[in-house]
Each structure stands twice: as structure tokens, then as C-alpha cells.
Structure 1
Amino acid sequence: MEFSQSDNNNLPLTKFESMLKTNHVLFFDSEEFENIIHHYLNQGKIALAKKAIKLGLAQHPTSINLRLFKVEIHVFENNLDEADKLLNDLYLIEPHNEEIFIQKANILSKKDNHIKAIEVLKHTLDLTDDLVDIYSLIGMEYLFIDEFENAKTYFKKCLEEDIDDYSALYNVIYCFDYLEQNQAATDYLNTFLDKNPYCEVAWHQLGKQYVTLELYKKALAAFDFAIISDDTFVGAYLERGKVLEKLGEYLQAIESYNLTLRLDDPTAFALLRIGHCYEKLGNLDVAVQYYYKTVEEDPQLDKGWIAITRFYKKEKNYQKALYYINKAINIDSENVHYWKLYSQINQRLNHFEEAERGYKKTLELGNFEIDTWIARGDLLLKLGEPEAALFNFEQALEFFPENAEIEYRLAGLNFTLNQNTKGLFYLKNGLRNNRDYSFIIDELFPDFANSDQVKTLLKTTS
């Protein structure tokens, strides 16, 4: 029994707290102590719970339940050996007490001995009438050791005992998802819904499985049924909006997202999606208004700043785009796509040093796309750093061997640095791999394009 603020059940709690203030020891029966301790544990008031346990055991030294609370405190404070010792003593007194075995399994789990914990919990099944909690604990232990099939089995058992155990339902679907058994998940959910046709959570999960399988019409129907089951289910409206977007039904998607704004506090996600829908419909002025509403609602949502950045980039307002891409990078400085966008915008503004820095950061973060290497190398050449450009393209060639675009650049750079033998080597390779890109020499290295040696080579290989 938990204490509430609105009835007389909290009288023992008031009496207990009054006792602590006056230091006058009052008597409580063991059940009252149990309720007081339970209340403090739920409130996270561990120090008060420990005081109640100490006083409770002073008045009721033989109470198994109070001693089990002491075990719980030991486990919470990671005094696992103390907890284990106390449990062993309790086992000698009450060898069939299910709570002793549950706590024993908890200790084993904290020691990462999950297999043994599962054995103890399975033994507990013979001692308890509350099978659901034990099935759930077994399922969680199997999750800890990545045995998803076994975990799934026990979470299903939870639902067989209690069809309204939504936590177990989520865990079953988590297992299906991890195992990439999306079709099996839809089969299970459809069977579950035959027994519980108004379960909005199951319809919602079924819709998400259909989305994964790219069965968008079926997904839409599932989300509609979730809403029929609970017309205040915000998550179903959001998922419905996402599916409508995929189907190109942007006005209906906007309607679905707007319903979430009316049902609950505005979410940055819904505002952002509405903005995207308006942009798809070509209503750019309204779109950008929603992007601004997104970042007002959640200034830490980098996707909102990126949406504004892309909007101004399309509008060729690169100065504003640069301002907003910097905001996104300040939130997520490890996102390669943001750095690449940063470089492209700076390049448009002729901020070549900043653009090169952005491409360098993009490469450092593991984005080794060929256009990143080429853009950075060309910028280094423009900035008068041929040695750095040469090193950049030599690295690029390791990722893209026999790539003519890189080889022509290496040829020109080697000529620039008076390494003519290497220059001829790369030029010949470039001509052999793809002659169509030979214009790179003309565009980036015109001085060498007109040299007799290069002209002769181009003629003899034509």
C-alpha cells in the first residue's frame, strides 16, 4: 500500500516523520514500517528508508520483509557480499520465500552472472503465483546476454498471463526488431490483435513493422486503427504523418502533425515535419516559418538549424546559410554532413580557407567520398599549397586506385613541383584509365598543358 496526499493512509508516515523530529520512539506494526520504507524507496529518499529499516528491525527483529528491505538497500549501494550473506541467513529461515530468490537473482545479475540468475529465477517460478514479474525478469536477463530468441519467449509468456502488459509487448517487438524478423513480428501482432482488437499499442507497433517492410498502405491502416482505439494517441498521429509524407500526401500529413500540436504540447519534431511538407508543396514562406518555430521550441535540435540552412542555400542566401550551419555544428560537431555543407557554403562565399578546413574535418570524421578529396585538393591548389594538395590526392588514390580524376591532378601537381618523372607517370595512367578527363590538365594546370612534352604525350596516346 502506498501513501497518498489525499487520504488517511499517510497517517503512519506523518507519525513517523514527527517521531524523527522529536526523537520520541513510537511503536509501528511491521506492515506500517514496510509501507513507510516502500514510500521512501519510491521517492528515492534512501537515507530515510534506511532509518525506517533500522527502527523497524529494532521493533520487529524477526520480520523477514524488513530484513529483505535491508537486502534491497545493500544491493542499491552495491554492497553485494553483505546482501548475499543476509539472503543466505534468510534462506535458512524461509527457504520458500520467492523474494529471497528474486533478490538472489538480482545480485547474480549485478555480478554479470546472468546464466545463474536465470536458473534462480526459473526455480522461483515454482514458488510464486505472480508469474508475470518472474517471466519479465527472466526475459531481461536473456536480453543482457543477447539471447533474443529466449528473451522473446519469456516476454510472450508475460502476455499470455496478462494481455495488457504493454511493457512486455514492447520488449517482444524489440526482440523481433533486433533479429530483423519483421514479417514474423507482423504475424505475431496480427494474432495478438485478434485477441485484443482495441490495443492501440499493438496497432502502433504493427504500423511501424509495415513501414520497415515498406508496406505503406498497410502501415497507414494500422495507424488509423491505433487512433480509432485511442484518439489521443500522439505517437500514432506522428507515425501516420510520416507515412503520408512517404506517400506524397503532404496536406494530409500536415493535418496529422497539426493534430499532435492540439492534443499535446508542441513538439519540435512535428513542427519540423510540417515545415518539410510545406516545402514539398512549394510553399517556402510558410515552410521557413515552421523551421523557425522548430528551433524556438527546441534550440538544441540541430535538424531544425539544418533545415533553415538548406532553405537559405537553395535561396542562394549563402551568408544566412553560413550563420545557421554554424549553429548546427555547435550542437553536433561530429556530423560529417554538416561539415560538408559548411564547406560548400563557404566555397560559394569564396571563403576558401574555411571551406578547406571543413573538408579536412569531413575527412577526419571518416567521410572518404571522392568528391570530398577532390574538393579539398582543388582548394589547397587554389590557396597556393601544392605540397598539401599533392599529399591529399596521394591519400585519395589509396581509396580510389586508377581514378583518372585524381591521376590527372597528381600529374599536374608533380609537374608544378618539378617532379616531371612522376608527373609523366600519373599523366600516362590518367590517359590510359579515362582520356575524357584530360581537360583537368588544361583547366587546373594550363602552363603544363601547353608544354611540348605534355602535348606530345597527348598526341601519341590519342
Structure 2
Amino acid sequence: MDFSQEGNSVSLTRFESMLKTNDVLFFDAEEFENIANYYIESGKIALARKAVKLGLEQHPTSSNLRLFKAELFIFENKFEKAEQILTELHELEPHNEEVFIQKANIYSKQDDHKKAIYLLEQAIDLTNDPADVYNLIGMEYLFIEDFQNAKVNFMKCLEVDDQDYSALYNVIYCFDFLEQHTEAIDYLNMFLNNNPYCEVAWHQVGKQYFGLKEYEKALSAYDFAIISDDRFVGAYLEKGKVLEKLGRYNEALENYQITLELEDPTSFALLRMGKCYDKLGSDELALKHFERCVHEDPLLDNGWIAITDFYKKRLNFQKALYYINKAINIDSDNVLYWKRYAKINHRLKFYEEAEEGYRRTLELGNYELETWLNRADILLQLGEHNAAVINLTQAMEFYPENAEVAFRLAGLNYAQGSDIQGRYFLKNGLKLDAEFSIIIDELFPYVAAKKEVRELIEKHSNL
């Protein structure tokens, strides 16, 4: 409800004054409805409840106020009380679509979305505003992941109200989920025939072409979006991304720069600008924008990763380590940070820190083979043979037929005097991929010198 209109604003002021002074002032039923609706939409439920209560004391037969009372009960999950009010109202006004809508709301909150859809479809025949009801039906279909029917209802909503951009976004969401990208473009082009200056639709066309890697067509779509609204920040950002893909970094920078002039700098734009300057070989400007990016949004992991990788690429591992440590201090559960922390420390030969990094990476659910192997090799260097065996045994659960794991386990077991286990893993490794037997020579030279090991490897190579 818009309280910018003078009459509505006066009503709200009078009502809030009445609550402060405990004076009882008279409002007509429509004023109470507007006040209650305003508070509900603003999320001020306690004040909405007071408005409805006082409104019904002055206008006990008001259907709309009783509907608001039912809506508040539904909000509080008091479904029986809401149902009682709605049943009474239905007997009095069997063609009131709001009764059906609120009953559907009850079923929706109880996860009976099919019953909610049935009631909303009845409301369609009664309402003067079908767009909202089609939207609600579409949302119910989304809840049960019936994207085809959801899409159909959002389209019906747009047939009635082509300015409902939330419905337009939902239509495209359904197309995307159904992987119907060409169909989405066809639909958007049809929509644009009737709404040629709809910047949102042009923006969505661009995103579809971008997903299909048709970058020139995406570029044209974003240009039309900008013609339709030259302050549309999202279109400039997306156009910048396309220009980057086309290697036109200076033009991409121009578009990102426009977004900084239109609104407060976004970390995304600053990050992309840093990447462009990096591609253009402007190290100082790249670094400046990466630093601005992490200052603007310290929680943006891509910003910290970009600045760390910037220094890694230039072999400045001390600086890279400095920044990845800062990132970990902000978010110690980010697996991408720990992966880099491990590799940088590994490169600097800080083995204990590297081992911690690989361990944390695994604990956070990154089970890449490289992580298991790197951690095993570092544990071996640290003399932690038992821990290395445990680590590789866990790796086997994810990579049961990997020769690199098998040969490391063979070497470790032989080194610890477990010849039977060593023999088992050595034979297994030779069976999987004998070329990796070089691992024994490189990591376990004293094991490679054992007569049994040499004979088994030679015997296999002669097969």
C-alpha cells in the first residue's frame, strides 16, 4: 500500500498517534484495510494485528478486515482459526476470490500444493486480477518442481500483465531448468515484439545467448537493453563479461567503468576490471582493482583468490601467502583458500603448514586425487609414515583402482616391514598401471633396492 498519497499518510499518522495516546479515534473500514495491508507488507505483524483488531471493533461486518485476520492467523500457523473465518466468509460471499486464495495459502503452508492449485484455479474464474492468481499458481507448481506447468502459468500472468517482471524472471528460470535455451529465446523475442523497449527481456535474451556461447548475439541483446535503459547496471556488467570472452578487454573496462559511475562500486565490477588489466599486462592497475575489490567485499572469495593467484603467477609466493592468510582469517571454512594455502606452503617448502592445508582441504570435502597424493608425500617427508598410510587408505575409498595410490601404499608398507601388505599393493599397482612403478624408485629408493620388489617389477615388465 502506498502511503505517499496524502489521505493514506494522514490515516497512518492518526492511527499511530492513537496507539501512543490510547485515545480511540474513528476510521472508516477502508482506512483500516489500508493500514493493515501496509503493516503486513512492511512485515510489522504486531501493528497489523492491532489495526485489524481495532478495525473489527469499529466495523465487525467488514469482509476485508476479516480476511486480514485470517491472513494473520495463517502467518502464525494457526490454520484452524483461519479456516473457521474463511468458511464463514465463504457462506456469506461464495464468489469472493480472496477466500479461495487464503484457503490455498493454508494448503500451501501445509505442503499440500496440489490442493492449493485446485483452489487457486477456482479463484481464476472469480477474480478481476487474474495475473496475481496465475503467479501464485506458478509458484505452487515450482514448489512441486513441475517446471512445465509453472512456466505455462507465469506466461499466462504475463499475457494479462506484461509489466510483471518477477513473472518474466520466473518464466526464464523454468526454461533454464528445463534446458530449453532456444525456446527461451523464441519466447523472449515474441515478448519483445509487444514490448520492444523492455530492458529486462533484452537482458535475459543476452544471458541465453551467452549460455549458448553465441557472444556476438549476446552483445547485440545487451546493447538493446542499454538503449532501452541507459542506466541499467546489469546490462553493462553482462556486456563487459561478453567483451572479455571476445578478448576486447579495453571495451569491457569501459562498460565496467560506467557501472562505477552509475552506482556505488560493486566488488564484481572491480574484480572483472582487475582481470581485464591483468590480461592487458597492466600489473599495477590490476593489483589496485583487486585490492579495492577485497576492501569493498572482504567475503568475496573470488577477490582473495584473484589477488593470491596474481602473486602466484609472478612467483611471489611470500606475497601470495600473505593474502591467502588474510583470506583464511576472514573465512576459515573456505576450501578454495586452504587448497591455495597448501600449494603455496608446499612450494615454499613449509611442509608442516602445507600438510595442514591439504588436511583442512580434505576435511572440508575436497577429495581430489591430487590432494590425497600431495598430503601423503608431505607426511612421508615429515616421517609420519602411519599418518601417510591412513591418508592413502582413505584415498582408496574414493580411488580404489588408482595405481599412484597403490604404489605409495606398497612403498610405505615395505618400509614399515609389512612385506605381505607391501607385496599386495605392489602387485595391485603393477596390474593397474605398471608405468607408475617409478614412484617406488623416486619416493622409496631403499624399497626399490629390495630383491623381491625388483623381481616383481621385472617379472611384470617381461610379461
Which shows bigger deviation, 13-22 or 255-264? 13-22
The aligned amino acid for 1:142 is: Y
SS at structure 2 position matched to 1:186: helix
Residues 199 and 229, structure 1, Cα contact 8 Å, conserved in 2:
yes
SS at structure 2 position matched to 1:299: coil
1:265 maps to 264
Which shows bigger deviation, 311-320 or 432-441? 432-441
Structure 2 CA distance for aligned equivalents of residues 416 and 149 of structure 1: 61
Which shows bigger deviation, 320-329 or 226-235? 320-329
The aligned amino acid for 1:133 is: D
Which shows bigger deviation, 329-338 or 84-93? 329-338
1:23 maps to 22
2:289 maps to 290
Asked whether 1:369 is paired with 2:368, we answer yes
Which shows bigger deviation, 151-160 or 330-339? 330-339
Residues 117 and 141, structure 1, Cα contact 8 Å, conserved in 2:
yes
Which shows bigger deviation, 349-358 or 130-139? 349-358
2:317 maps to 318
Tell me, which stretches of 5 or more residues in structure 1 are unaligned? none
Structure 1 pair 89/400, CA: closer, same or farther in 2 (3 Å)?
Answer: closer
1:3 maps to 3
Aligned length: 461
**Cα offset for 1:72?**
1.8
**Cα offset for 1:321?**
1.5
2:96 maps to 97
Which shows bigger deviation, 72-81 or 261-270? 72-81
Structure 2 CA distance for aligned equivalents of residues 290 and 327 of structure 1: 17
Residues 71 and 87, structure 1, Cα contact 8 Å, conserved in 2:
yes
SS at structure 2 position matched to 1:197: coil
Structure 1 pair 428/92, CA: closer, same or farther in 2 (3 Å)?
Answer: closer
Structure 2 CA distance for aligned equivalents of residues 443 and 239 of structure 1: 50
Structure 1 CA distance for aligned equivalents of residues 344 and 380 of structure 2: 19
**Cα offset for 1:330?**
4.1
Percent identity, please: 63
2:84 maps to 85
Residues 2 and 38, structure 1, Cα contact 8 Å, conserved in 2:
no
1:123 maps to 122
Structure 2 CA distance for aligned equivalents of residues 398 and 3 of structure 1: 63
Structure 1 CA distance for aligned equivalents of residues 21 and 407 of structure 2: 89
**Cα offset for 1:231?**
0.8
1:150 maps to 149
TM-score of the superposed pair, with normalisation by structure 1: 0.93
The aligned amino acid for 1:72 is: E
2:215 maps to 216
Structure 1 pair 138/385, CA: closer, same or farther in 2 (3 Å)?
Answer: same
2:380 maps to 381
**Cα offset for 1:299?**
1.5
Structure 2 CA distance for aligned equivalents of residues 20 and 430 of structure 1: 81
TM-score of the superposed pair, with normalisation by structure 2: 0.93
2:446 maps to 447
**Cα offset for 1:110?**
1.2
Asked whether 1:167 is paired with 2:178, we answer no
Structure 2 CA distance for aligned equivalents of residues 447 and 277 of structure 1: 51
Residues 344 and 355, structure 1, Cα contact 8 Å, conserved in 2:
yes
Which shows bigger deviation, 84-93 or 317-326? 317-326
Q: How does 1:349-428 map to 2 (within 5 A)?
A: 349-428=348-427
1:109 maps to 108
The aligned amino acid for 1:260 is: T
Aligned-residue Cα RMSD (Å) equals 2.1
**Cα offset for 1:205?**
0.4
Residues 415 and 448, structure 1, Cα contact 8 Å, conserved in 2:
yes
Structure 2 CA distance for aligned equivalents of residues 449 and 43 of structure 1: 74
